[in-house]
Chain A
């Protein structure tokens, strides 16, 4: 059995009496790619945000690399260096150049050597085809370029785990492929462990080892990807797939 990197047990999130996430249980193996699927409002984004402490949860535990997380802000600051996250709206810092966006984490948080960090950042930029944009400001980039920089910014911290929260949802269609290729490449070449929330079913099918299907804050099924896309275990998931155009 593969080594588990993340375990989520009995995770509950609610506001007053209203449940957002209900008894969430799953684990992720090292090197595994899990996609979270489900209709809008099912709690996918909330769940993925719980995994790096951007959302609080009321009950349950998250265990990362064998250690149960004590969810204080201070602990999360440490853990977030190991769990990279990329958002739908890129959220580069507009006051900093591309290079400074990337270097902020490595040099200020991790106190890496500036020279080495810079060289590595350039290598990463080259990998995503943006080596000429190191000194550009985010406002000079297209959406797809910004999102690539956001991915590089997360990778520069040497994370063990990546969370992708609908990273192609606000991109123009012709930009989507490039971003998905980068994520695919991370899975294939780097064997990066990741959780991907997406609405791109073709991509999910292509990249995922396993699918977790969520509805109304419940996990309805966890199925190996091949099986999920040929025959889901639940009718609800099948109806969801049938409604998607792919």
Chain B
């Protein structure tokens, strides 16, 4: 067994390349999440306003990004829009954009839901001390909404990180794509390499996502304890 599959991981620069791919994955997910969360909070706030056309427009935006599968969105932005609109971005930036728009859409729904579940009395007692609409959102409603929505936001983050595995479809050199290359290059010499490479990728994703999911559960439990206490 001089050609055990596990040695594929450590041959040449394979391991570093996989880590590099993981870095691309994490970077895209992180930037998309940061941009998407900020944009999503703004859109979520706007969706609680009374302005009907604005609400309809934002609702359509949300439904579009929610209904259309992420793969289709990526293809749409990678293959179709550049040709139609003459708009070209490298794959990783484009992926970041698509993911950020998707996060913003999902986040707007989370924020809206949290904002409208802040009791009406809070709004009224804020108004009663003379707060204007901006101050009411800034000091009273948004801080309370955030504590309600953090678990849902973390769960969204884990979904986004998992979904980055689609990025290889638009030729982004993420951890999956690099893993695939390593497997193909070593297929003859190490037929069981595929198991080890994907095993490692599984471990990477698990190490990133599991703590997040654990954290979300813990925060939710704490919040419920506090609400009942």
Contacts and interface: CB of A to CB of B under 8 A. Distances in A.
Interface of A: 52-54, 73-74, 76-78, 80-81, 84-85, 87, 89, 91-96, 104-105, 108-110, 139, 150, 153-154, 157
Interface stretch (B86-94, B96-104, B117-125, B156-164): B117-125
A75 to B, nearest CB: 11
Majority SS at the chain B contact face = helix
Interface string B33-49: 00000000000000000
Contacts, number: 69
Interface string B139-165: 110011001000000000000000000
A153 B129 contact: yes
Interface of B: 119, 121-122, 124-133, 135, 139-140, 143-144, 147, 226, 229
Given A91-B122, A94-B144, A104 B139 contact: yes
Contacts of B133: 73
Contact of B130 (A89, A91, A96, A110): A110
A218 to B, nearest CB: 25
Contact of B129 (A76, A94, A105): A105
7 contacts: A80-B128, A84-B129, A93-B122, A93-B140, A96-B143, A108-B139, A157-B130
A139 B144 CA distance: 14
A109 B129 contact: yes
Contacts of A76: 127
A54 B124 contact: yes
Contacts of B135: 108-109
A20 B122 CA distance: 24
A108 B125 contact: no
